[in-house]
Amino acid sequence: MQSDIVEMGPGHPKRMLWYRGQPMKGVRVEKAQTRDGPVELGDGPARTRASAPGKLNPPLAFANPSRLPRCLLSSLRPHMASLQAVVASSSSLCYSVSQHKFRISNSACSSSSSNGGPSSSAGVARVHEGLRQVNPVDSMSSLSQVENHVLKAACCLLSQAGRGKRQVTSAIMGNGLFTQTNPDIRRVMPGGKSAGVTVVKVVYVVLEAQYQSSLSAAVKNINRSNRLVNFELVGYLLEELRDNSNYEMFKADMADANIFIGSLIFVEELAQKVKAVVEVEKDRLDAILVFPSMPEVMRLNKLGTFDMSQLGQSKKSSIFKVLKKKGPNFEENMLKVVRTLPKLLKLLPLDRAQDARRYVMSLQFWLGGSSSNLENFLKMIAGAYVPALQKANIVFDDPVNFLDVGIWHPMAPRMFDDVGDYMNWYGTRKDANACLKSPDAPVIGLICQRSHIVTGDDSHYVAVVMEMEARGAKVVPIFSGGLDYSSPVQRFFCDPGTKKPLVQSVVSLTGFALVGGPASQDHPRAIEALRNLGVPYLVALPLVFQSTDDWLESTLGLHPIQVALQVALPELDGGLEPIIFSGRDSRTGKSHALHRRVEQLCTRAIKWAELKRKTKTEKKFAITVFSFPPDKGNVGTAAYLDVFASIFSVLRELKNDGYNVEGLPDTAEGLIEDIIHDKEAKFNSPDLNIAYRMPVREYERLTPYAKALEENWGKAPGNLNSDGQNLLIYGKQYGNVFIGVQPTFGYEGDPMRLLFAKSASPHHGFAAYYTFLDKIFGADALLHFGTHGSLEFMPGKQVGLSDVCYPDSLIGNIPNIYYYAANNPSEATIAKRRSYANTISYLTPPAENAGLYKGLKQLSELIASYQSLKDSGRGEQIVSSIVSTAKQCNLDRDVDLPEEGVELSADERDGIVGKVYSKIMEIESRLLPCGLHIIGEPPTAMEAVATLVNIAALDRPDDGIYSLPTVLAESVGRDIEEIYRNNNKGLLEDVELSREITDVCRAAITAFVEETTNKKGQVVNVFENLGSLFAVPKKAPWVAVVQRTKFSNASREKMRILFEFLGDCLKQVVANNEVGSLKDALEGKYVEPGPGGDPIRNPKVLPTGKNIHALDPQSIPTVAAMLCAKTVVDRLLERQRAENGGAYPETIALVLWGTDNIKTYGESLAQVLWLLGVEPRPDALGRVNKVEPVSLEQLGRPRVDVVVNCSGVFRDLFINQMNLLDRAVKMVAELDEPVEMNFVRKHALEQSEKLGIAVRDAATRIFSNASGSYSANISLAVENSSWESEQQLQEMYLKRKSFAFDSDAPGTGMKEKREVFELALATADATFQNLDSSEISLTDVSHYFDSDPTKLVQGLRKDKKKVSSYIADTTTANAQVRSLSETVRLDARTKMLNPKWYEGMLKSGYEGVREIEKRLTNTMGWSATSGQVDNWVYEEANSTFIADEVMQKRLLDTNPNSFRKLVQTFLEASGRGYWETSEENLDKLRQLYAEVEDKIEGIDRM
């Protein structure tokens, strides 16, 4: 074929491209790229022919149809005779591309390979998505109409630069904000001054940029053709107003504007800025038109006599009446009203009616969106309201209406309002190949925003359509004029005849929740619509607040406001996979497709659709288990889960359901043997079952990003998951199911790597594992089994990944299903956003009361004797026994006990007994999860009793539900809070009353549950069995229990309401859909979403088997959370003062966790605010985006300084709240108050002077990890014994946690500010953390000690004063603040040393031994970071697990590797000085360690 030339034309300096001798108007090249780097084009004449085509890097145009990208292939093929080049996108964009001219040759193009990666070609087009874009293509006269349609997809040609060396660029940008654009690029000036022409200035502010091009075109056309009026137009994107210079420019523009237009102004702080400026000019302005926005901005509307100043001022107003009637077709009905109302108002002569008519017509014009509609809109408003034009008779046409709801396709001749008509047209398309017309082709539903279509800003939609079709999928792209897609989804995505789903998966391209936009949402209606449809629902994202460059350069990724509006809210609908598929040109405002992202999105959507189409027998899926820390005894790690028993149970169910699981062993133990091959082998030996050996060449060929890993790990294969020649994939295949072991991070045992501030890339073995699953095994789906692995925590942007972010590269195209613990919504959300997981919740083990054992049980019996005999002569003797036994139980650290022989009065004896009684009550009643959960096995009725008791212990005022303890206390004339306070003080009378209330609660709820229990101990027919008893409460057995006690006067009505609620809770507790939801996911069905969290606080977490979501991040802290926070803070300060001579702490260093704040709706976040003495102020939509200081008089104490360490997960989920906190701290630092009453200001002034920086900068207090990194790595060092000294651990903390968030420059991301961090920590008097859930305590997970700076702070303080450390425990209604040492002791007594706990764990066998070892390791972690673990804890643990030879043998036989680690931890604790014990104990441990080593190595020392 003869090559064509696309070249620079001689018309320089316009630098136009020419094609076949015809100029391509409007296409300019401003930057060129050669092999030697970028070249700026000068003002000299451009060359017209390429002197050395071979040097072009790369050619951009394409000639050989067989090698065109798939996204254009199907559309180009019928027209290839006439179309030989594509060099632009729709009538909108063209990127700056390489060289002064482009040769089109037969080798100039390459498509992506079938696996989604690039196939190599010398001339492949590789233009980075972040290159600056140039001016729009106004017209292409040389191309046909069909070719112009095809050009709309040409952005797909713009591939991102190659995946060689990956670098995350700095997020530090010009103004420190996320949006770098200059509003001046949207300024359109009138033509030359002409007599008689009135110039009207229009200023507009919009949320998104899709109207920019249409408005600009409208104004330019008026200015060219109209002799009466010209317009000056300038537009602002809402986000640009954060920049002070932009805001000042906005003020200046408004000062001489005639007309203001606003739309979708829904960000509170920016809405206030807009209001402040427009309000000043309101009387002077000729017209103000604000379309849906915050109420305070909507009230600015002014058209003659029409205004909205009273909007929403009364709930009786008509708008509220309309909103209350909101139903399934509300949006469509409102749009019909908008269309018909002007016709009615036209008949009314009143000025007010005509002004209202023009407002409604304005809305019609605006929703119409085209340049012609906007042109007529401007003419109408100017002619009616600009005084100089009111008599000029400005002619305008009525709005051109498009369908409000319908189906659109870029190749279709029209929009469709009937899916049958659309499918008929689809079947007759001449440009579609037979494959696309096949009835077997997958069908994907696309949800589009109407405004993008009618304004012509649709090139990103076109690209998705073309890419889907190029991959063989039919598409049904629907749109709606409103933001309620629930009806259109049901109307257009279902077959009109059968009413069954027509589509196999749905992709929303709007970014918004299915029902509602940025202002309000209706998630239940959305869920109902999606449940009825029953297919996977993906929500992709267009960049809204950032240009493509801004996003690419940001380490944070997606703008926090967009994360809140377009990631968090769609997740509540069950939305998956927030892939960014389009960018925005910073100059034109036009959207453009991001080719790699579009490929990823379309491939994954089709893969989800294929799950619905493939048969069960042919589906292949992989199960991934974890091994963390890396040790052979840890294979199958997951929180609260018996992993192998669960896998066995699930596979047995799937086998029965028709899946091919050939060769599955008969038992879970057999499964363990198959996977780890030899439980006694070392983890890094080939004795783990090797499923596949991957040669290095194959690995490099199949893993496009392999080269990028060499920076951290050297050349493949490396020494991890490798035999020196091949990369090893560990696991076992059963039919079409592969069970594999995910490699670990790889740097756990390397002290130097642990010190790095930022996390390393995945190693070659890690990458090879996921390459194997995708390219070699060919998994149709992947199931990550349990909480949690490493994939989602690999480096990359926080949210809104690019294709150089490792989680995105690793997961590739495989649909990801992830079993996640229901109580961990924060990390589940990270998995959802960063590894595109459909997270399915599983239940944590049933909670039980810890009970009493050994000496603690004896103490309880002694106290009972004292209460009955204290007035006899034996009272003193019994107290002496109580004191002696309490000391034997090491309670003397928790309770002040007298020395032996000291005489005590009767009141003193009562006081001592009361305090000991309170302590053992605390131990006995503490909830703990017993054993490990097995997927698909719900708790029995009796196992659910303790959970229900704790659910019943919480008041729920919003639901009108009183707690059972509250009701019982009221019946004897007492307040439950007073009883709790006195119980905590050890007041014997109220300790006993508290115990009686607890006992009656348990007895009543046990009687309640027994009514629903069959002979097998299963709950059946809850409401059938209980319904009659609710109707006649006198007969209810739980009422009978209460009547037999001193609480017989308890309110029957309050109890009825409570127990009806408990009935619903019981039904959910024992329900089980964990396997059912997995089956749904594997069959390509919709998995219903549900909140994650603590089922005691929020029973809506149940039943499990839901697609876990978090919450709207802008909704916290709630009012209730703020009230709880005030209680905790007051108790914290009270305790600190009591222990420090009445002095208030000046600074408290504390931690914010993601999961805690989700479960409690922001309680710990609220604690920070209350320490500072500020309160949140929700906006009109209930979102928390600002705070206000409480006066010192009202506060009644000094403002306490804080140093906030946010977990990496909190940073990812709640960046908006970090912004809020930073603004709060800086606001307090700048208050004009005495420094002795404002410790924030005191320290900021001191640090400002010392560092020579501004006070605001010195007031930096909100810290976390660098973006894309998590944890301080202290836990990794402790778990792997890879640390030498405590100083090394402290250096890890300082290096990895000293990255600050700056609300003055949020776009800079997390910026290292170690000096400020250290100075702030050095002022801390106390450290503080929260416990909010009974399932997780201090020694259950390593996260808590990983974030503890107690010893570090002491070392940083100039006076080296010992720092207090506190833990707030809000796991029960009786919230308490304990010292860290008290909490560690409580943990040890109720879990590690408690037979009820460790015997429950040992029932799970292999995993149970690991759980015991983990508790001891975490205990030592607390010794390392805080020094607050008592010696007796280690001594008792040694007696329990080592000195007892029967127990020792059980542990050794069950999991020798974990037992070896247990022995090693005892020896390490002694060696590091944390445990003082006898030499006899140490000798025994050393001997035991050697014996275990020999057994593991297979050495027989007879």
CB 1386 within 8 A of CB 1315: no
Q: What's phi and psi for 112, nearest 5 deg? A: -70, 150
The backbone torsions φ and ψ at residue 417, rounded to the nearest 5 degrees and listed phi first, read -115, 15
Which three-class secondary structure state does DSSP give residue 754? helix
Q: Quote the tokens at residue 557.
A: 């990724």
Name the 3-class secondary structure at 625. strand
| Percent of the chain's residues with pLDDT above 90 | 46
Give strand ranges (E) for 345-434.
Answer: 405-407
489 touches 531 (CB < 8 A): no
| Structure-token pair, residue 1132 | 């914290």
- Residue 667 is classified by DSSP as S
Q: Please give the Cα distance from 574 to 506 (Å, whole number).
A: 12
Question: In terms of pLDDT, which residue wins out, 951 or 1495?
Answer: 951
Tens digits of residue pLDDT in 1197-1239: 999 999 999 998 888 888 889 989 999 999 999 999 999 999 9
* 172 pLDDT tier (thresholds 50, 70, 90): very low
**pLDDT score of 685 more than 80:** no
Neighbour count for residue 716 (Cβ, 10 Å): 24
Burial class for 1427, CB neighbours closer than 10 Å (0-12, 13-18, 19+): middle
Q: What tens digit of pLDDT does each residue of 250-305 get?
A: 999 999 999 999 998 888 889 999 999 999 999 999 999 998 888 889 899 999 98
Cβ within 8 Å of residue 113, ≥6 positions away: 119
List all residues 6 or more positions away from 196 whose beta carbon is below 8 Å from its beta carbon: 227, 228
> Per the structure block, which two tokens stand in for 378?
């401007």
Confidence tier at 340 by pLDDT (50, 70, 90): low
For the residues 589-600, what does the mean pLDDT come to?
91
Separation between Cα atoms, residue 755 and residue 1297, nearest integer Å: 11
What is the model's pLDDT at position 687? 62
Cβ-contact 1262, 1225 below 8 angstroms: yes
Residue 711 confidence (pLDDT) above 70? yes
Does the structure show a pLDDT above 70 at 23? no
Q: What does the DSSP assignment read for 1060-1101?
A: HHHHHHHHHHH---HHHHHHHHHTT-PPPEEE-S-TTT-GGG
Which range is least confidently modeled, 199-203, 1010-1014, 1138-1142, 1263-1267? 1010-1014
Query: Phi, psi (5° rounding) for residue 530?
Result: -75, -35
Distance CA 536, CA 613 (A): 13
- Whether the ω angle into residue 629 lies within 30 degrees of 0, i.e. cis, is yes
Burial class (CB in 10 A: 0-12, 13-18, 19+), 722: buried
pLDDT grade for 922, boundaries at 50, 70 and 90: confident
User: CA 319, CA 328: separation in Å to the nearest integer?
Assistant: 18
How confident is residue 748, by pLDDT bands cut at 50, 70 and 90?
low
Tens of pLDDT along 446-501? 999 988 898 888 999 999 999 999 999 999 999 988 778 999 999 999 988 888 99
Which of 1381, 1316, 1321 minimizes the C-alpha distance to 1354?
1321
Mean pLDDT along residues 544-566: 85
Residue 100, H or E segment? none
347-377 residue pLDDT tens: 555 667 788 888 888 988 888 888 999 999 9
* CA-CA-CA-CA torsion sign (325, 326, 330, 335): positive
1425 within 8 A of 1271, measured Cβ to Cβ: no
More confident residue, 924 or 311: 924
Q: Tell me if 209 sits within 8 A of 589, measured CB to CB.
A: yes
Q: How far apart are CA 908 and CA 886, in angstroms?
A: 16
> Given pLDDT bands bounded at 50, 70 and 90, which one contains residue 1023?
low
| Chain centre distance of CA 802 | 17
Model pLDDT, residue 287: 96
Q: Which residue has the higher pLDDT, 1426 or 166?
A: 1426
Can you read off the two tokens belonging to residue 797? Answer: 């942007």
Q: What is the DSSP letter of 776?
A: I
Provide the percentage of residues in the chain whose pLDDT is more than 70. Answer: 81
Which pLDDT score is estimated for 750?
65
Top-confidence range, 51-60, 132-141, 1109-1118: 1109-1118
Write the DSSP string, 989-1023. HHHHHHHHHHHHHHHHHHHHHHTTB-TTS-B--HH
| 564 Cβ contact list (under 8 Å, min separation 6) | 1112, 1113, 1114, 1216
Q: Average model confidence (pLDDT) for the chain?
A: 81
pLDDT class of 1099 with cuts at 50, 70, 90: confident
